[in-house]
Chains A and B, each alone.
Chain A
């Protein structure tokens, strides 16, 4: 019988029809000659069961193939593969046993032996296919693109992903992948999958292909495939053998009885009836995209685990790390400290490059080389800057100082100390818009984005980096030519940086007086867009005045790695970290403070904070230790100008402090994993009951702690309180005697430390330490400068606490996906609020592991605090590193002047955290509009001043306290304890 089978459905449907045709012919050999009229005809190529109809070929029967079985999918145990078969059985009146559990796809010999389209695009090696999107009118199958990205990022350097998808469909581009979206037809996609180690996708054509395309020789018989399915379709209908089918059917009320079969999470407006039958639990993710809640419940961690399963079980093996390709003319006897300074001088740049090389050779003593027209012509590259990718192929040296031809070496310096290092020595790029805009797209933290006009690299450590950068360049365009591929490849491969201060590559030299005044070693052009000036300079026809600034290297060295709070004199305060390379964290726009240095002005060390182009503030140190702003070179401590106050509790310890080894970005996750493996079991019996912990000693924090404790009692809280401090000096006896009558136990952390050693314990580190070692099993931590406005004891009985054992409160911001801390901690990015750790509620028994890990992160604060602000995100990261959930109060901070108000789960104000308006006994306590119980707090503060026997004559009474000290009723009304 001559059959013509017709179907106009999607490629995945047609692929399932191939299985039915196969099974029909195998069950009834010779009985049918079958032609097909379907969409996606490429799927039938090389199919031995299909007849190509010739002119005059008339079918005996035409069948419109369908699979009505799908309507029973939620209640009957059938797979999609049964659908067309049952339809054919019914229409032909025959029995068709089901054959292999897959569609039927054939590759020609030529297709099998041709390199994969991925290799043809220049990417050798193993890979997985990732389909990170879908049809525009089928949004219920979408997964959050950032989740796909998190999976890619997790496997960076281990598994290469090739992103595939239809040109007209929705496939947001991922970073760090080979992007073939819209670049493959069906047969090419089949070849891509044929060569793939595995496939990650939603329920889509690629899933069916992953099963249907035969395995290549040596590959697992069942091709690995991780399907992110959610709750749309029942697993038994779609899942193939060997696939990891991640679904939520049965977990949500909307798919409690099976797949929901919804198509859309938002209306498309195409008039289709599916617009009226939308997902009932849509979730808006980054970029405003709506996906089903069932899809968001499948986390990147679950997908990562599913992929890793294939490696853990041995079905797949990770490729060996790429080895550097031996360079042309490698000189094996070259000592590792030897190196060559190299630049590129092609075409009109040749003269300038030659002169620049001669000048640099003279000032550094290095041999120099210019890569010129001949090398460029032989490279096949589109533009001379790309020759940087081939440095180790072109240069006969193990170590290279590369410098752009438009750089001028203005003073002597020695690059040799950077030769042979595993780190790339370079200068951070300016935080200009193009850098801020493009860096995240390449997975490069802006503060780690370096200018590729100058870098020191070694063949042993960095040849693979240059090769990877060249490969990346092909994957996506950038306005910055080689720079983003080089930066992106560095991040991808995890190569460390040795950032030099900007005197080694002053970008924008000549656009400011500051650049002329600083003794710059390497100017990146003598004036922007005036390369001819360089040549004039080399030839003696252009001269610069000697720089006038005298750097104070010793003082600069002392301030490296320290934190300072800059008080702008108007009540504003920001914490700045002084990086070793003279840049400031957080990174600032070009016109704001982005750099620091110390220079000598009239014999006095003067600390300068500068923008890209000018010094914005200068400070000299006064006897109190503070750095006060100078005006016209004269310190005026009485002047109400900016001040820098060092945050000593954040200062990195000296390397020889004997507190154990510091960790690095490369070792951080491994160190954490090692720590996790050795976390001791929860010490049953050591802790008991509920209580509150406050850390607060010293003149700055004890007054805050005093007010905090008095307010707890004032609002009726009778929970025991532990007040933690560091040493007797922080909490003298008279203060202890003042607080103890209020049910407070004072705990000296230095004493505890003798029994429970910790690598670092100064400021923020004390918070997790006190939580860990306080006597309570269930503990509420409150910052000293935090005030409860109701008895917080009811939090211990709240459902979220009972459910999770940990309650955190939200901060204003969310950690951006490009923040390095995700990578450092090995945590896939999550779009969730940062933790504001001014109050924390924990059940230590249930949170012992994450709390211990938090302590680990904090005792390495000299590393982790570079990546996050103090302790707050260490809680967040530790919980996520261990895959633990926590409850977070869903109500955002209400901001008052210098104060963050936090709420309970019902949205009632509970805490008033005066983080920027701390109580003080030596200055003004500014009134904070909207701050509840402020008069009561001030009265408590006044009592402290009176009872503490501070000599009033020497103590300026704080604003607002005078009345209380003098016993004058200032009219404040203490609200009832449970007032809102």
Chain B
């Protein structure tokens, strides 16, 4: 049946749970760990062929100075550019781009931007404050759309469940925005956003912050065939 909500070809959905499998490009930001072992970089970008590149940054110098149990707070700009020849640029904060080459593709099908928590420990929050995507079509036209879906995850947030729900699972640890291009004409995508990460705020109590307690993910799905493993 026709529905008045089906008016736009670019679709923005806000969903809880698991993102789709086999993205063509996966860009990830996380709390990270400078001191290892092994040291886990804060930024990581990989493709379906499991090639990857990484980058480092200091999220919160106070947190770094005072240790994992201290308050953690950071706000950073996020940039991701993906071109049809497979060139991918990823940057967080004031750090320079990480350059990455993946398989060429013909069109972008969708982008998922996720806020995830790798722990149930209370007081972890990651919020995408702002997201804007620019789609370039094969004919050279561009379209910039702010996202009405701004994923966030708060580890001790309460959830809504159906009154008669049975087999209730654990609360979701991830929320993501799915932006579907809706056509096969998008050959290039640029994402600009801002992300806030918080942990160990005084009110929530403190606990050591793990390197993957807070994760931000950008997954891009293109028409390039997914390759599994190396």
Residues of A at the B interface (CB closer than 8 Å) are 355, 358-359, 362-363, 383, 385, 408, 410-411, 429-430, 432-435, 451, 479-481, 483, 507-508, 510-516, 524-525, 527-530, 533, 537-547, 613-614
Contact = CB atoms under 8 A, between A and B. Distances in A.
B171 A546 contact: no
Contacts of A528: 3, 5-6, 11, 13
Given A511-B11, A511-B14, A543 B4 contact: no
23 contacts: A429-B4, A432-B4, A432-B7, A434-B2, A434-B7, A435-B4, A479-B2, A511-B13, A512-B12, A513-B14, A513-B150, A514-B148, A529-B6, A538-B162, A540-B161, A540-B165, A542-B16, A542-B17, A543-B168, A545-B16, A545-B160, A546-B160, A547-B160
A468 to B, nearest CB: 21
Contacts of B11: 511, 528-529
B203 interface: no
Contact of B14 (A433, A434, A510): A510
A511 B149 contact: yes
B152 to A, nearest CB: 8
A480 B158 contact: no
B15 interface: yes
Contacts of B39: none
Interface string B135-178: 00000000000001111101001111111111111011001000
B21 interface: no
Nearest to B17: A542
B202 interface: no
Contacts, number: 122
Contacts of A544: 16, 159-160
A540 B16 contact: no
A435 B3 CA distance: 10
A543 B6 contact: no
A40 B16 CA distance: 69
Contacts of A434: 2, 4, 7
Contacts of A529: 5-6, 11
A481 B169 CA distance: 38
A537 B162 contact: yes
A543 B167 contact: no
Contact of A543 (B1, B160, B163): B160
Contacts of A410: 160
A539 B162 contact: yes
A542 B170 CA distance: 10
B124 to A, nearest CB: 14
A400 B145 CA distance: 41
Given A433-B7, A525-B5, A613-B12, 5 more contacts: A383-B1, A432-B4, A434-B4, A480-B4, A511-B12
A633 to B, nearest CB: 13
B5 to A, nearest CB: 5
Nearest to A429: B4
B203 to A, nearest CB: 14
Nearest to B171: A543
A544 B159 CA distance: 5
* Residue from A363, A510, A547 with most neighbouring chain B CB atoms (10 Å): A510
Contacts of A543: 16, 159-161, 168-169, 171-172
Interface string B1-34: 1111111000111111100000000000000000
A512 B149 contact: yes
B195 to A, nearest CB: 14
Top-6 shortest CB links A-B: A540-B165, A613-B148, A512-B148, A540-B168, A362-B163, A546-B158
A516 B154 CA distance: 14
Nearest to A535: B162
Contact of B157 (A359, A411, A527, A546): A546
A481 B165 contact: no
A429 B172 CA distance: 31
Contacts of A514: 148
Contact of B163 (A359, A512, A613): A359
Given A511-B5, A613-B148, A527 B164 contact: no
* Residue from B4, B12, B17, B171 with most neighbouring chain A CB atoms (10 Å): B4
Nearest to A543: B159
Contact of A451 (B2, B4, B17, B163): B4
B166 A513 contact: no
A432 B5 CA distance: 8
A446 B160 CA distance: 34
B15 to A, nearest CB: 6
Contacts of A435: 4
A798 to B, nearest CB: 51
A538 B158 contact: no
Contacts of A530: 13, 15
A771 to B, nearest CB: 45
Nearest to A481: B1
Contacts of B16: 542-545
A516 B4 CA distance: 19
